[in-house]
């Protein structure tokens, strides 16, 4: 199992870098699909079968199709680098490094290797997830429908030619 994790973790990071570094949006989108699929494998290794399936079907499938569709529709070209973002780079990069260092240190402090718990994976098949979703989290589940309704309504309002 261990080699699988390393392979797909490295693949995910490389593909994520590619998302950010590619100059053509379609390549970014394809790299993002690679990230999402590698993460699905990582979820499997963590015992989250249902989530892995969702990740591939919904995320890599449905959401990314939407992205690719819009990129094709708008015929987005290569972007030319601009100097407007210089401030963000000078100010953002050091802050981010500080933050990342702190985060890594914090993770190290809270979860040192020795404290890793029992090797047994939780039972996270669709049954366990469903039971939790429809019992303990029934209200968030229902409220999600409002969220989706707002998204649908919003997309229609913004993108439809005539209301």
Partner 1 sequence: MIPTHYYLFLGAALFTIGVVGVLTRRNIIVILMSIELILNAVNINLVAFSRYFQAVDGQVFAIFVITDAAAEAAVGLGLIIALFRNKETVNADEIDLLKW
Partner 2 sequence: MITVQADDLVRILPQAILAGFAILVMVFEPFLPAARKTLLGWFSLFGVVAAGAATIRTSFSPGLAFGNSISADRFSLFFICLFLLVAALTLLGSFHSLERENINHGEFYALLLMATVGMCFMAASTELIMIFLGLEISSLATYVLAGFKRQDALSNEASLKYFLLGSFATAFFLYGIAVVYGLTGTTNLLVLSAQLGRSGEFRPGAVFAWVALLLMFVGLAFKVSTVPFHVWTPDVYQGAPAPVTAFLSVGPKAAAFAVLLRIFLGAFASAGSGVFWVFWASAILTMCLGNLAALLQSNVKRLLAYSAIAHAGYVLVGIAAGRGEGTAPVLFYLTVYALMNVGAFLLVAHLAGTGERWTRIEDFTGLGYQRPAVAACLAAFMLSLAGFPTTAGFFAKFYIFRAAVHSGLIGLTIVAVLTSVVSVYYYFRLIVVMYMREGKAEAASASLPWALRVALAISVVGIFYLGLYPTDFLLLTNLAAVPLP
Q: Cβ closer to partner 2: 4 or 104?
A: 104
Whole-angstrom CA distances from 73 to 16, 49, 62, 68 are 24, 34, 16, 8
* Residues 144-163 close enough to bind partner 2 by CB under 8 A: 144, 146-147, 149-151, 153-154, 156-158, 163
Alpha-carbon span 101 to 10, nearest angstrom: 19
Q: For residue 122, give the 3-state DSSP assignment.
A: coil
Residue 19, contacted partner among partner 2, partner 1, none, CB below 5-8 A by kind: partner 1
Q: Least distance in Å: CB of 158 to partner 2?
A: 6
**Distance in angstroms between the alpha carbons of the first and the last residue of the chain:** 54
Residue 3, contacted partner among partner 1, partner 2, none, CB below 5-8 A by kind: none
- What binding mask, one character per residue, do residues 94-123 give for partner 2 by CB under 8 A, x or -? -----x--xx-xxx-xxx------------
Residue 59, contacted partner among partner 1, partner 2, none, CB below 5-8 A by kind: partner 1
Sign of the torsion formed by the C-alpha atoms of 150, 151, 157 and 163: negative
Nearest in space to 39 (alpha carbons), one of 58, 56, 17: 56
Contact footprint for partner 2 (CB under 8 A): 99, 102-103, 105-107, 109-111, 135-140, 143-144, 146-147, 149-151, 153-154, 156-158, 163
């Amino acid at each position: 199992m261990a080699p699988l994790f390393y392979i797909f973790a490295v693949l995910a990071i490389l593909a994520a870098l590619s998302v950010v570094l590619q100059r053509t949006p379609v390549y970014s989108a394809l790299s993002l699909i690679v990230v999402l699929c590698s993460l699905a494998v990582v979820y499997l290794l963590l015992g989250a079968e249902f989530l892995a399936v969702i990740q591939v079907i919904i995320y890599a499938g449905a959401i990314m199709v939407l992205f690719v569709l819009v990129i094709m529709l708008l015929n987005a070209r290569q972007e030319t680098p601009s100097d407007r973002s210089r401030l963000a780079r000078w100010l953002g990069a050091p802050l981010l490094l500080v933050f990342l260092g702190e985060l890594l240190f914090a993770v190290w402090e809270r979860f040192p290797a020795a404290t890793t718990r029992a090797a047994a994976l939780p039972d996270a098949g669709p049954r366990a997830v469903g039971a939790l979703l429809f019992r303990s989290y029934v209200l968030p589940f229902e409220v999600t429908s409002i969220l989706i309704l707002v998204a649908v309504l919003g997309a229609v309002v913004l993108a439809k030619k005539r209301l």
